[in-house]
Amino acid sequence: MSLDKKATAGVIGAGTMGTGIAQIASTFGHTVFIYDAYPGQLEKSKEGLEKILKRQVEKERMTRSEVSGILNRIHYVDHLTDFKKCDIVFEAIIEDLQAKKDQFARLEAIVPKNCTLATNTSSLSIASISSILKKPERFLGVHFFNPAPLMKLVEIIPGISTAESTVKAAKNIIDSWEKVTAVAKDTPGFIVNRVARPFYGEALRIYEEGIADAPTIDWAMKEIGGFKMGPFELMDLIGHDVNYKVTESVFEAFYYDPRFKPSFAQKRLVEAGRLGKKSSSGFYDYKNLENNSEPNTDKELGQKILNRILAMLINEAADAVYMNIATVQDVDLAMKYGVNYPKGLLEWCDDIGAREVLNTIQDLKKTYSEDRYRPNPMLKKSAQSGIKFHNAQR
C-alpha cells in the first residue's frame, strides 16, 4: 500500500476540521473530494475556505495562481459514491461512535479495496470504530489538531487490527504535508489529551484549595514557566463544556483513576452556563474586564505553583512511555506541537532532574495521601539511576 502526491483524497464532514484537512491535501497537490450530509454545510465550507485563502493573497503569503490551484483541486460532492476512486479517506464528523460506524460501513462498500480509511476522532476507540469493517486492517486514527492547516502535530493511532503497511502509508503522506507525526497506542486521550490533563486538573486543585486564584496561577505558568497561555485562560478559550467533557470522558475511560478526576469548580461553571469566552464569562469576566483581579506576582509562590503542575505533567508523560502509549520522542513532539508547550515534558525533566520532579510528587503524596500523587515507576527509575529519559533504553 503506497500513498504519494498522486493519491486522491476524500474527506467526510465539511465542518472546520474537514475543510482544514481538505485544504492541506489540496495545497500539496492532491485531488480532493469533500462530502457532507448537509448540502448547506458544503456551501458554507466552500465560502469559508475562499475567504481564508483570499486573505492569504491580501497578506502576500500566497499568489492568486496558488489559491486557484487549491480551490480547483477540491470537489464538493453530495454523494459518497463520488469516493469510488479515492486512495485515502479522512472522516471528520461529530464525535459519536455509532455515527462514525454507520459512516464507515457505507463508505467501505464504495471505495477501492486498497483505500486507506482514517478517522479524525480525538477520543473514541479506534478498535471499536473498526469493528464495523470487513477489512479493519486498512483503518486507523489520524488525529489533526484545530486549526488543521496551522497546527503541526498529527497523532497517528493504529487500532488492534491495523496493518503496519497502513500505518506506514498514512505516516508517509502526512509527513509529506510537512506535519509532525506522533504514533500513539489506541488508549483514551491518545498522547496529548491524556498527558495534558494535569495542566488543567492540578491548576484547578490549587485553585480549589485556595492556594492561589486563577490570575496568579496563569501568571506563574506564563511568566515563570514560559507557557503561551495559563490553564484558566486556556479553559475559558476552549470552553468549559468541552474541556470538562473531555476530562470526564478520560476519567471514566481510565476506570475512574484519581489522576484524571474532574473538578467541582469547573462543573459548577458549566452548570451556571459560564462557559468561558463564548459566553462572556468563565474564570474571567470578558464583558467587564475591570472586574478581574490582578495576579499575585510573588515569585516564590509562582515557582511552587509551576513546580507542582509541571511535576504532574512530567509524571503523566513518563506514564505514557511506561505504558507503551508512545516513545519518549513522540510524547515530547506531541506536547510541543500539539499544545505548544515551551519544550517537551521529558526533555524538561532531563533539564531539571528527575530527582527534583520525584521529590515534588512524593511531597504531594505525603501531604495528601492520595493515589492521585503516585509517582510513575519510570520516573523513579530515572531519579535513582540518573539516566535521562532521552538517553534511556528500555
385 is catalytic: no
pLDDT of residue 390: 95
Tell me the three cell numbers of residue 62.
500566497
Percent of the chain, pLDDT > 90?
A: 94
Mean pLDDT on 174-194: 96
DSSP state of 285: B
> Is 155 labeled as catalytic in the residue annotation?
yes
Q: What is the arithmetic mean of pLDDT over 135-164? A: 97
Check residue 123 and give its pLDDT.
84
Residue 2 pLDDT greater than 70, yes or no = no
Q: Give per-residue pLDDT as tens, 223-277.
A: 999 999 999 999 999 999 999 998 998 999 999 999 999 999 999 999 999 999 9
- Helices (H) and strands (E) counted in the chain, each on its own, are 17, 8
Compute the distance between CA of residue 376 and CA of residue 358 in angstroms, rounded to an integer: 9
C-alpha cell at 108: 467501505
120, 193, 263, 382: the catalytic one is 193
Residue type, 392: A
| Strand spans (E) along 13-159 | 32-35, 74-77, 88-91, 116-119, 139-144, 153-158
Going from N- to C-terminal start, the domains of the chain cover 9-186, 191-394
**Average pLDDT along the chain:** 96
- CA nearest 127: which of 159, 92, 167? 159
Catalytic residue among 26, 45, 120, 122: 122
Q: What does the pLDDT average to over 266-294?
A: 95
Q: Which residues contact 25 (CB under 8 A, 6 or more apart)?
A: 9, 11, 32, 177
**Are the CB atoms for 334 and 153 separated by under 8 Å?**
yes
pLDDT of residue 1: 54
Q: Catalytic one among 91, 108, 155, 202?
A: 155
Average pLDDT over residues 331-350: 97
* Residue 193 falls in the annotated catalytic set: yes
Whether the per-residue pLDDT at 93 is higher than 60: the answer is: yes
Q: Is 122 a residue of the active site?
A: yes
Return the pLDDT at 39: 87
Task: Give one DSSP letter per residue of 7-44, joined into a string.
Answer: --EEEE--SHHHHHHHHHHHHTT--EEEE-SSHHHHHH
Span 10-34, average pLDDT: 97
Q: Which CATH number among 3.30.870.10, 1.10.1040.50, 3.20.20.70, 1.25.40.10 corresponds to the domain 191-394?
A: 1.10.1040.50
Determine what percent of the chain is predicted with pLDDT higher than 70.
99
Helix (H) or strand (E) holding 363: helix 354-368
Q: Is the dihedral of CA 15, 161, 246, 217 positive or negative?
A: negative
Confidence category of residue 4, pLDDT binned at 50, 70, 90: confident
Band (pLDDT 50/70/90 cuts) for residue 392 is confident
Q: How far apart are CA 156 and CA 176, in angstroms?
A: 14
Nearest partner of 76 among 48, 113, 111, judged by Cα: 48
The answer to whether the CB of 25 falls within 8 A of the CB of 9 is: yes
| Nearest-10 Cα torsion for 147, 149, 150, 152 | 100
The mean per-residue pLDDT over the stretch 303-325 comes to 98
| From 160-164, 286-290, 331-335, the region with the lowest mean pLDDT | 286-290
Q: What are phi and psi of 141, to 5 degrees?
A: -95, 135
Residue tagged active-site, from 45, 143, 202, 316:
143
- Strand-pairing partners, residue 115, are none
Domain 9-186 belongs in CATH node 1.10.1740.10: no
